[in-house]
Chain A
Amino acid sequence: MPIDPRTHIAVLLAASLFVMLARGAVQLHILVALSALYLTGNRLLRQAVYGVLAYAAMTALMSVAARHAVTFGIILYTFIRMMPVVMIGAALTGSAPGRMMCALERARVPKPLLVMLCILFRFFPVLLAEMQAIRDGIRARGIFPRWDSALRRPTLLYECFFVPLVVRCLKLSSELAASAELRGIECTRRRTSIQPVGLKAIDGLAAGLYALLAAAGLYATGGLLL
């Protein structure tokens, strides 16, 4: 049985707390390894491999970049620190929206907040894809023929990029709202889900093991601020 979305949220919060408390590289390695293990346990092997590879690549690049480009090094450092959280977030975004809504409704999360949270998780990749499509459209039309054309006309760049994005957002929100209303989003009765929802022993075990191993790992390699 797959792990409940509520457990993913608890583990996500624990991961962000441990990332804040991590002192150095070794502790981050431990957190990334644990997050990869968590993803593998959730049958998200591909995401686990991608996460570890991205982390390894960024860490390797960081050792070179930090010496030559300080700004780039800082950006990389931010990404590297957030990797354990991003990996657990992948488990959450991998959950079906209906299942997530049902699970969070059982946790008595208010419906408006629930809808907003689900959209936040689901629409990040959608809107990133929209941004990419707009960027491709700008390239295809040859609006900025040279690499510095965009820098010379920042207002036009903003207009060309954000106006289609805003219009797309308006359309998306109208379509999604109509679809959600037709599917009974405003229904006051308890929501059901075709997929299994419920906290089982495996949820407690997964969250407990993650927290225990992360705390032990951090403590053993340099201590925890407790």
Chain B
Amino acid sequence: MQASTQVQHTEVSNKWKMRDFITLAIFNVVMLIVITIVGMIAHPLGYLVGGGLTALLNGPIYMVMSNKIGKRGILLFSALILGLYFVAFGYVQYLIILTVFGVICELVMWGSDTYRDPLRNACGYGLYYVSYSLCGVLPLIFFRDQYMAVLKLSYTPSKLENMLYYYETPSMVILMCICSFVGAFAGCMAGKALLKKHVKKAKLV
């Protein structure tokens, strides 16, 4: 009886309300602004550390958002929003890759109250940013000819060569993923400290 009540309670608390969607959307707008700014400023080193730097800066924002909402699906919905944002700029492949990885992130976050656990959050969020870094790599593996034809229209030969060096060299891809994961992990830990120091003290979460 007690167990069934507990299950019922978990089900109720995992149901998304409109205010959760609103919170998620507002925080994602901030994260998108950071992604856009970092993507432009960190352009020369962007391929390698861009994802990690973005993850580091967005980490505390994500931690506040996940602690405020605290329900399953945060990473999947965030991945969908990020994917839709890139669709507006013509990168449809980002939406597909991010959605698939969003589902994997949710599997990583499986369990009750994981979105309030800093370590689990760091793992899920790290994977989310690894997927963000892989958005440029995966189409080159699976649809190389078609993707190259499109890229040739958008990039000058020198820029394309530079990009392909990072996206096609396995060591560079691994380094890129490690940078993203480490950045995300550090961001989440910084977020944990920020939550404790400011947000929880003010009873905002």
Contacts and interface: CB of A to CB of B under 8 A. Distances in A.
Interface of A: 12-13, 16-17, 19-23, 70-71, 74-75, 78-79, 81-82, 85, 89, 111-113, 115-117, 119-120, 123-124, 127-128, 131, 158-159, 162-163, 165-167, 169-170, 172-174, 176-178, 180-181, 185-186, 225
A81 B154 CA distance: 9
Contact of A115 (B18, B43, B90): B18
Interface stretch (B25-33, B102-110, B164-172): B25-33
A158 B57 contact: yes
A162 B27 CA distance: 12
B181 interface: no
Interface in B12-63: 16-19, 21-30, 32-33, 40-41, 43-44, 57, 60-61
A124 B29 contact: yes
Contacts of B87: 13, 16
B98 to A, nearest CB: 15
Contact of A16 (B89, B198, B205): B89
Nearest to B29: A123
Interface in B92-143: none
Given A16-B88, A119-B25, A127-B26, 18 more contacts: A20-B150, A21-B150, A22-B153, A71-B43, A74-B43, A75-B43, A82-B89, A112-B21, A116-B24, A116-B28, A120-B81, A127-B29, A127-B30, A162-B57, A166-B61, A166-B199, A167-B198, A173-B22
B19 A115 contact: no
Given A12-B88, A75-B40, A177-B19, A120 B57 contact: no
A89 B88 CA distance: 9
B85 A120 contact: yes
Contacts of A75: 40-41, 43
What 5 pairs across the A-B complex have the smallest Cβ distances? A177-B19, A119-B25, A16-B90, A20-B90, A173-B23
B89 A120 contact: no
A175 to B, nearest CB: 10
Interface residues of B, number: 45
Contacts of B3: none
B59 to A, nearest CB: 10
B48 to A, nearest CB: 15
28 contacts: A13-B87, A13-B88, A16-B87, A16-B88, A74-B44, A75-B41, A75-B43, A81-B154, A115-B22, A115-B25, A116-B25, A119-B22, A119-B26, A124-B29, A127-B26, A128-B33, A163-B194, A166-B60, A166-B61, A166-B64, A166-B199, A169-B64, A170-B68, A170-B205, A172-B26, A173-B68, A181-B18, A225-B150
A169 B194 contact: no
B16 to A, nearest CB: 7
A73 to B, nearest CB: 10
A78 B40 contact: yes
B18 A185 contact: yes
B199 A123 contact: no
A162 B40 contact: no
Contacts of B202: 167
Contacts of B64: 166, 169-170
A179 B60 CA distance: 27
A13 B68 CA distance: 33
Contact of B26 (A19, A79, A173, A185): A173
Contacts of A17: 90
B16 A112 contact: yes
A17 B22 CA distance: 29
